Protein backbone atom coordinates (compact mmCIF):
# COMPACT_ATOMS: atom_id res chain seq x y z
CA UNK A 1 0.00 0.00 0.00
CA UNK A 2 1.38 3.39 -1.00
CA UNK A 3 0.61 5.08 2.34
CA UNK A 4 2.65 2.40 4.13
CA UNK A 5 5.58 3.05 1.80
CA UNK A 6 5.27 6.80 2.37
CA UNK A 7 4.94 6.41 6.12
CA UNK A 8 1.93 8.73 6.26
CA UNK A 9 -1.82 7.98 6.30
CA UNK A 10 -3.96 10.63 4.63
CA UNK A 11 -7.00 12.00 6.42
CA UNK A 12 -8.49 12.92 3.04
CA UNK A 13 -7.98 10.12 0.52
CA UNK A 14 -9.00 12.49 -2.26
CA UNK A 15 -5.92 14.64 -1.68
CA UNK A 16 -3.63 11.68 -2.32
CA UNK A 17 -5.65 10.65 -5.39
CA UNK A 18 -5.31 14.15 -6.81
CA UNK A 19 -1.54 14.04 -6.26
CA UNK A 20 -1.39 10.83 -8.30
CA UNK A 21 -3.54 12.11 -11.18
CA UNK A 22 -1.58 13.18 -14.26
CA UNK A 23 -2.90 15.87 -16.59
CA UNK A 24 -3.26 13.25 -19.36
CA UNK A 25 -5.97 11.49 -17.32
CA UNK A 26 -7.69 14.79 -16.50
CA UNK A 27 -7.77 15.63 -20.20
CA UNK A 28 -9.69 12.41 -20.88
CA UNK A 29 -12.16 12.88 -18.01
CA UNK A 30 -14.02 16.17 -17.98
CA UNK A 31 -14.22 17.76 -14.55
CA UNK A 32 -11.33 15.73 -13.14
CA UNK A 33 -8.47 17.67 -11.57
CA UNK A 34 -4.74 16.89 -11.95
CA UNK A 35 -1.68 17.12 -9.75
CA UNK A 36 -0.02 20.23 -11.22
CA UNK A 37 -1.01 22.64 -8.42
CA UNK A 38 0.14 20.17 -5.77
CA UNK A 39 3.36 19.70 -7.75
CA UNK A 40 3.92 23.48 -7.61
CA UNK A 41 3.46 23.45 -3.84
CA UNK A 42 5.59 20.34 -3.32
CA UNK A 43 8.46 21.83 -5.32
CA UNK A 44 8.68 24.75 -2.89
CA UNK A 45 8.17 22.59 0.20
CA UNK A 46 10.86 20.06 -0.68
CA UNK A 47 13.26 22.86 -1.58
CA UNK A 48 12.72 24.62 1.76
CA UNK A 49 13.03 21.46 3.84
CA UNK A 50 16.16 20.35 1.98
CA UNK A 51 17.80 23.77 2.31
CA UNK A 52 17.12 23.82 6.06
CA UNK A 53 18.30 20.23 6.46
CA UNK A 54 21.69 20.73 4.79
CA UNK A 55 22.14 24.19 6.37
CA UNK A 56 21.92 22.61 9.81
CA UNK A 57 24.06 19.57 9.05
CA UNK A 58 26.85 21.27 7.10
CA UNK A 59 27.73 24.35 9.20
CA UNK A 60 31.16 24.74 7.60
CA UNK A 61 29.97 24.83 3.97
CA UNK A 62 29.59 28.12 2.15
CA UNK A 63 26.56 29.21 0.14
CA UNK A 64 27.94 27.97 -3.18
CA UNK A 65 28.48 24.43 -1.94
CA UNK A 66 25.08 24.33 -0.25
CA UNK A 67 23.36 25.59 -3.39
CA UNK A 68 25.01 22.96 -5.57
CA UNK A 69 24.20 20.18 -3.10
CA UNK A 70 20.57 21.32 -2.77
CA UNK A 71 20.17 21.35 -6.55
CA UNK A 72 21.53 17.81 -6.72
CA UNK A 73 19.28 16.52 -3.92
CA UNK A 74 16.04 17.95 -5.36
CA UNK A 75 16.84 17.35 -9.03
CA UNK A 76 14.39 15.49 -11.25
CA UNK A 77 16.41 12.25 -11.27
CA UNK A 78 16.76 12.34 -7.47
CA UNK A 79 13.03 12.85 -6.92
CA UNK A 80 12.25 10.18 -9.50
CA UNK A 81 14.41 7.80 -7.46
CA UNK A 82 12.52 8.75 -4.30
CA UNK A 83 9.35 7.88 -6.18
CA UNK A 84 10.71 4.52 -7.29
CA UNK A 85 11.85 3.76 -3.75
CA UNK A 86 8.23 3.98 -2.57
CA UNK A 87 6.76 2.28 -5.65
CA UNK A 88 5.01 5.47 -6.76
CA UNK A 89 4.78 4.58 -10.45
CA UNK A 90 2.44 1.67 -9.74
CA UNK A 91 -0.17 4.05 -8.31
CA UNK A 92 -0.07 6.85 -10.88
CA UNK A 93 -3.34 7.66 -12.66
CA UNK A 94 -2.50 8.32 -16.30
CA UNK A 95 -4.39 8.80 -19.53
CA UNK A 96 -4.55 5.82 -21.87
CA UNK A 97 -1.90 7.10 -24.25
CA UNK A 98 0.53 8.09 -21.51
CA UNK A 99 0.05 4.75 -19.76
CA UNK A 100 0.58 2.81 -22.98
CA UNK A 101 3.76 4.80 -23.63
CA UNK A 102 5.38 3.74 -20.36
CA UNK A 103 4.56 6.89 -18.43
CA UNK A 104 4.61 5.13 -15.07
CA UNK A 105 8.36 4.63 -15.46
CA UNK A 106 9.21 8.02 -16.98
CA UNK A 107 11.50 10.12 -14.78
CA UNK A 108 9.71 13.39 -15.48
CA UNK A 109 6.27 12.01 -14.59
CA UNK A 110 7.46 10.16 -11.48
CA UNK A 111 9.47 13.14 -10.19
CA UNK A 112 6.56 15.54 -10.76
CA UNK A 113 4.22 13.15 -8.96
CA UNK A 114 6.70 12.86 -6.09
CA UNK A 115 6.58 16.64 -5.67
CA UNK A 116 2.78 16.50 -5.82
CA UNK A 117 2.68 13.84 -3.11
CA UNK A 118 4.91 15.98 -0.88
CA UNK A 119 2.56 18.91 -1.52
CA UNK A 120 -0.39 16.68 -0.67
CA UNK A 121 1.21 15.59 2.61
CA UNK A 122 1.73 19.25 3.50
CA UNK A 123 -1.90 20.12 2.71
CA UNK A 124 -3.29 17.08 4.55
CA UNK A 125 -0.99 16.89 7.56
CA UNK A 126 0.89 20.18 7.71
CA UNK A 127 4.49 21.22 7.15
CA UNK A 128 5.87 18.95 9.89
CA UNK A 129 4.37 15.86 8.25
CA UNK A 130 5.98 16.83 4.96
CA UNK A 131 9.27 17.52 6.73
CA UNK A 132 9.23 14.08 8.33
CA UNK A 133 8.83 12.42 4.94
CA UNK A 134 11.42 14.52 3.11
CA UNK A 135 14.00 14.14 5.87
CA UNK A 136 13.46 10.38 5.87
CA UNK A 137 14.55 10.44 2.20
CA UNK A 138 17.47 12.80 2.79
CA UNK A 139 18.75 10.60 5.62
CA UNK A 140 19.43 7.85 3.07
CA UNK A 141 21.84 9.87 0.90
CA UNK A 142 25.34 11.20 1.41
CA UNK A 143 25.63 14.89 2.19
CA UNK A 144 29.36 15.10 1.63
CA UNK A 145 30.01 18.15 -0.56
CA UNK A 146 33.28 16.60 -1.65
CA UNK A 147 31.62 13.48 -3.03
CA UNK A 148 32.28 12.94 -6.73
CA UNK A 149 28.88 12.80 -8.39
CA UNK A 150 29.44 10.99 -11.66
CA UNK A 151 25.70 10.82 -12.40
CA UNK A 152 25.36 14.60 -12.37
CA UNK A 153 28.45 15.00 -14.55
CA UNK A 154 27.15 12.45 -17.05
CA UNK A 155 23.71 14.02 -17.11
CA UNK A 156 25.21 17.45 -17.83
CA UNK A 157 27.31 16.01 -20.67
CA UNK A 158 24.41 14.07 -22.21
CA UNK A 159 21.99 17.01 -21.94
CA UNK A 160 24.51 19.28 -23.65
CA UNK A 161 25.31 16.84 -26.45
CA UNK A 162 21.97 15.11 -27.05
CA UNK A 163 19.28 17.27 -25.39
CA UNK A 164 18.04 14.35 -23.29
CA UNK A 165 18.94 12.61 -20.04
CA UNK A 166 20.49 9.17 -19.46
CA UNK A 167 18.40 6.24 -18.27
CA UNK A 168 19.64 3.69 -15.71
CA UNK A 169 18.52 0.06 -15.72
CA UNK A 170 19.34 -2.84 -13.39
CA UNK A 171 20.56 -5.62 -15.68
CA UNK A 172 21.61 -8.19 -13.06
CA UNK A 173 21.39 -8.91 -9.32
CA UNK A 174 23.63 -11.47 -7.65
CA UNK A 175 23.64 -12.83 -4.11
CA UNK A 176 21.15 -13.35 -1.26
CA UNK A 177 18.55 -10.72 -0.36
CA UNK A 178 20.62 -9.31 2.51
CA UNK A 179 23.85 -9.08 0.51
CA UNK A 180 22.99 -8.33 -3.12
CA UNK A 181 25.30 -6.94 -5.76
CA UNK A 182 23.64 -4.90 -8.48
CA UNK A 183 24.77 -4.47 -12.06
CA UNK A 184 23.42 -1.34 -13.74
CA UNK A 185 23.73 -0.13 -17.32
CA UNK A 186 23.20 3.45 -18.42
CA UNK A 187 21.54 4.18 -21.76
CA UNK A 188 20.63 7.02 -24.06
CA UNK A 189 17.83 5.61 -26.15
CA UNK A 190 18.96 2.08 -27.01
CA UNK A 191 22.67 2.93 -26.84
CA UNK A 192 24.47 1.61 -23.77
CA UNK A 193 26.97 4.20 -22.56
CA UNK A 194 28.47 2.19 -19.71
CA UNK A 195 27.85 -0.24 -16.87
CA UNK A 196 28.89 -0.70 -13.25
CA UNK A 197 28.38 -2.78 -10.12
CA UNK A 198 27.66 -1.89 -6.51
CA UNK A 199 26.14 -3.09 -3.25
CA UNK A 200 23.20 -0.73 -3.78
CA UNK A 201 21.38 0.57 -6.83
CA UNK A 202 22.73 4.07 -6.23
CA UNK A 203 26.32 2.82 -5.95
CA UNK A 204 25.96 0.79 -9.14
CA UNK A 205 24.45 3.77 -10.98
CA UNK A 206 27.40 5.96 -9.95
CA UNK A 207 29.78 3.24 -11.15
CA UNK A 208 27.95 3.01 -14.47
CA UNK A 209 28.08 6.79 -14.92
CA UNK A 210 31.81 6.80 -14.10
CA UNK A 211 32.37 4.03 -16.66
CA UNK A 212 30.43 5.98 -19.29
CA UNK A 213 32.43 9.15 -18.60
CA UNK A 214 35.72 7.26 -18.84
CA UNK A 215 34.73 5.95 -22.27
CA UNK A 216 33.94 9.41 -23.56
CA UNK A 217 37.08 11.04 -22.15
Query: Mean pLDDT of residues grouped by 10 in the chain (217 residues)?
Result: 95 96 92 95 98 93 86 89 94 92 89 97 98 95 68 87 92 84 94 92 90 85
Q: What is the pLDDT of residue 147?
A: 52
Catalytic residue among 39, 107, 115, 205: 115
Q: Would you say the pTM of this structure is higher than 0.85?
A: no
Q: What is the pLDDT of residue 22?
A: 95
Q: What is the pLDDT of residue 146?
A: 46
Please work out, in degrees rounded to the nearest 5, the angle formed at the alpha carbon of residue 146 by the alpha carbons of 107 and 81: 15
Q: What is the pLDDT of residue 162?
A: 87
Catalytic residue check, 115? yes
Domains along the sequence of the chain with CATH: 2-138 (1.10.1520.10), 150-216 (3.30.160.20)
Q: What is the pLDDT of residue 5?
A: 94
Residues 6+ apart with CB under 8 A from 104: 89, 90, 92, 94, 110
Catalytic residue among 43, 98, 112, 205: 43
Q: What is the pLDDT of residue 175?
A: 85
Amino acid sequence: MLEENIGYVFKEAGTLRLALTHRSYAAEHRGCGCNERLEFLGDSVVGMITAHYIYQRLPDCDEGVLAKLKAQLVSGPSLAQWGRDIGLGEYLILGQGEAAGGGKNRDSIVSDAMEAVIGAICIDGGYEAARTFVESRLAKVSLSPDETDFKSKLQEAVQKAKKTIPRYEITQTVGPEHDKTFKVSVFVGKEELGCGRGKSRKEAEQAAAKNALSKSA
